Each structure stands twice: as C-alpha cells, then as structure tokens.
Amino acid sequence: MKKLVIITLLIISNILAYAQIGGALNKARNNIEKGSVNKVDSESKNQTSDKIAETSENINNIGQVTATNQPAQTSVPQDQGSIKAYSKYDFVPGEKIIAFEDFMQTGVGDFPDRWNTNASAEVVTIDGKQGHWLMFTKGGVFAPELTNKLPDNFTFEFDLLCSNPFNPSGITNFFTCFTELGNPSQPQGWQGSNNVYSTSVFPRSGDELSSSTSDSRKNAVSEPQNATSTRQFNSTRSNPVHVSIWRQKERVRVYLNEEKTWDLPKGIAVDAAFNAVVFYIQYVDGPGRYYVNNIRLAIGAPDTRNKFLTEGKWVTHGILFDVNSDNIKPQSYGSLKEMANVLKENADVKVKIIGHTDADGDDKSNLDLSKRRATSVKVALTKEFSIDENRMETDGKGESEPIDKNDNPAGKANNRRVEFMKL
C-alpha cells in the first residue's frame, strides 16, 4: 500500500514538473515572437530560409532558452509610419545603384563575403522582420567593400535596428563614416584620414531622447562636433530606423526615418576623395546589439524635371515597396514628391507609370506585381498630392525589360524601379 502511495505521488510530481516546463516553454515562445533574434544551428545553414532551425538567446532575462526547428519568420514588417508622416522628407536617392547588400546570399551564422573587420559579426534572422540582418557581436570596425571611390554626389542608405529591450550601458554609438583610407585593407585606420565625415546615433533607455552627432575632419583640420536629439529610436524600438545620408559636394544631409537630423552646407571638404564606407562601434557588452540591413549606395544627382520634360522619361529607384507587395514604403515620399511637383508645374502633361521587377519568382507573378505597384503609385500621387487621376495611366513590365544583371543584389535593385513616361 505504501509503495502504491509513493508511486502515485511520483507520477503526480512528474506531471506537475512537466506542466511547469511546458508553461516556461510557452512563455519563452511568446517572448521569442515579441522580437528575439534567432540564430541557425550549424547543421541547418544550407536549408532554405523558410526551413531554418533557429536558436534564440537572452530572452527577456529568463536565461538562455533554445527553440530548435522553428521556421524563420516571413511576415511583412510593420510600417514605420504612413506616407503623410514624411511630409517634410526631401531625400531622393541617386540615379544608379552601384552597391546593395541585404545579406540574402550569406548563410545565417556566417560573416558576409566582401566585408572586412577587426571585430566580429554574424548574419541572423529576426522574428517579425523579413530577410537576413547583420548583427554586430563585438566592438570594432566593419567595412563593406562597396566601391573604391565615392563621387562628390552620392546617397547612402540602410536600415538600423537595436535590440529590444536595449541596454545602453553595454554598447556605444553606432558610427557611419566616409573616409579616405591610405590602405583599404586596414579599415581600422579610418580615424587617421585627412578627410573623414561621420554620423553617429545612440538610443537611450526608457523614454529619454536618443542622441545624434555629426563630426568631420577637412584637410587634416578637425571641425566642431554637432549634436542633436531625436525620438526616432525610442518611438520605433521594435522597427528599423531608416538612415539616409546624402552628399552633394560640400553639403551633407542626414535623415533618420522622416526626420532631417542634419543639413550641413559645409560638412565635407569639397575635394574630399572618399574611398570607403565604415561602420564603427567602440564596444559591445551584454545583450545590447545593433543590426543592419538593406544597405544601398547610389550615385548621380537626380534630375527629375529635365529628364522627364526633355527626354520624356524619368526612372526612379526611390519608390520602394514591401517585399512581394504593392504597399509603398513611407521613405518613398521624396521621390513621389519630385514627380508630383513636375506634374503640378506642367498641368497639361500626362504620364504613364510603369512598374518593373527583378527576375526572382515566376514571370506571371512578377508581371502582376509590377502592374499593381504602378497602380499604387498612381493612387499615392492622387491621394497624397492631389494629381488628377485622369492624367495618369499605368502599366507593368514585370522582369521583361531589365536594365542590369539579375545575378547580383545591386543589379536586382537597379531592375526594381518605377518609370514615368510622358504621353
């Protein structure tokens, strides 16, 4: 009888323990769904992204939690805000994309090719965010091999995300630097360059304002440092901040999402021959992390009015859409406004809006997507800028008229475009 009682108690104890473990796992899964970073285990790196086995760590202070055989999230990320929120956004990207990096060609857990560093980082997936992200795991210098010469007119963009929750005591500012490296294979020498321009951001904890600084050295002479405050990281902690930097000879403008943080008329030496882009984090300690994605370098000044009115055509890479969607991203506002201004100034002009895609996916789907995207542009011009819809026609060409190769990220980014044809 005593043995029976003991066995019964043991069974009940095991059931309760199992229930507690199940509850802890469910709590961990819920926390993972709220924004943890997932790493892929080494035996699964060659699988497609929708079948990646992931490991999650540092989940809201509950200790190390492992979740294996969980698929990478592919849901469309939340909008950073409506197009109207960008009403003062005048950023227009360069005419031709010469470098684009979304890390999709890099295996999760690996360091990307054509990058140099004296520290460490790895490509990861993030719950609720599309694609691959580069996570910086150790402080140092990170230099993508984008080009060996930056012209006097270029735009540089990327999405920057910080961990949530963020521990500001364990990480320093995130620096984006343009520099003249004497030895391109030694990016850690960026600070010793005669000409260097850097912008840094630092998200603070709680409801405090984030900081933003701008610093430069021109012809070996240091310029006074500028500083400002922004709410961008605090209000979008769970979403990426879109960073846009625009150099026009001496003038440099910096945008965080829709906010123009800097507009410096003499921010860069007029003859500065930058040959490298460098990301720099002095140190990383504890759970604080920065992540980047969608790095895009474009050259050439946009000449919307002249090209459209004299050549009868304007092609833009600045109208962006969510992946496999016709939803226009809000940072497209500047390019949409450029076209709207031309149409307002020339009230008798009609236009055909033509969407183009890269070659990923099948022909039929891409053709349909390009047509829907063209229609979305027409709707945005009508709704946001009061352009008469009867002045606009739409069409889509899918992947049928590429202007670049479809075998590399920069080529694909060039092929994803919107074309305006004067009728």
- 25: confidence class by pLDDT, cuts 50, 70, 90: very low
What's residue 231's pLDDT?
80
What's residue 165's pLDDT?
67
- 237: confidence class by pLDDT, cuts 50, 70, 90: low
What's residue 20's pLDDT?
42
Answer whether residue 293 shows pLDDT above 50: yes
CA distance 245 to 240: 16
- pLDDT, average across residues 5-31: 42
Element (H, E) at 276: strand 276-281
What's residue 89's pLDDT?
86
What's residue 24's pLDDT?
41
Answer whether residue 22 shows pLDDT above 60: no
What does the H/E/C string look like for 288-352? CCEEEEEEEEEECCCCHHHHHHHCCEEEECCCCECCCCCCECHHHHHHHHHHHHHHHHCCCCCEE
What's residue 93's pLDDT?
92
- pLDDT, average across residues 213-234: 87
- 207: confidence class by pLDDT, cuts 50, 70, 90: low
- pLDDT, average across residues 199-213: 79
Q: What sign does the CA torsion over 144, 146, 151, 155 have?
A: negative
Higher pLDDT, residue 166 or 308: 308
- pLDDT, average across residues 77-88: 61
**Six-digit token string for 275:** 């040959």
**Six-digit token string for 267:** 């921010």
Answer whether residue 338 shows pLDDT above 80: yes
- pLDDT, average across residues 232-261: 85
What's residue 246's pLDDT?
95
- pLDDT, average across residues 32-43: 38
Answer whether residue 230 shows pLDDT above 60: yes
- 234: confidence class by pLDDT, cuts 50, 70, 90: low
DSSP assignments along 120-172, one per residue: EEEEEEETTS-S-EEEEEESEEEEE---S---SEEEEEEEEEE-SS--GGGB-
**Mean of the per-residue pLDDT values of the chain:** 80
Least confident window among 5-19, 21-35, 206-220, 272-286:
21-35
Element (H, E) at 393: strand 392-398
pLDDT in tens, 49-76: 333 333 333 323 222 222 222 333 333 3
Higher pLDDT, residue 182 or 56: 182
What's residue 132's pLDDT?
96
Least confident window among 8-12, 40-44, 233-237:
40-44
Strand partners, 100: 296
Same fold flag, 93-299 and 304-422: no
Q: Which residue has the tokens 């150099």?
A: 247
Query: Is the CATH number of domain 304-422 3.30.1330.60?
Result: yes
b/e map 166-202, b = 16+ CB within 10 Å: beeeebbbbbbbbbbbeeeeebbbbeebebbbbbbbb
CA distance 384 to 253: 24
Answer whether residue 288 shows pLDDT above 60: yes
What's residue 204's pLDDT?
75
- 182: confidence class by pLDDT, cuts 50, 70, 90: confident
CATH class of the domain whose range is 93-299: mainly beta
Element (H, E) at 21: helix 2-33
Answer whether residue 217 shows pLDDT above 80: yes
What are the structural domain ranges in the chain?
2-56, 93-299, 304-422
Say what angle helices 333-345 and 363-385 make with each other, to 10 degrees.
Answer: 60
What's residue 208's pLDDT?
64
Sequence-ordered strand ranges (E) for 180-250: 196-202, 210-218, 221-222, 226-230, 241-248
Q: Mean pLDDT highest for which of 72-86, 158-172, 218-232?
A: 218-232
- 186: confidence class by pLDDT, cuts 50, 70, 90: confident
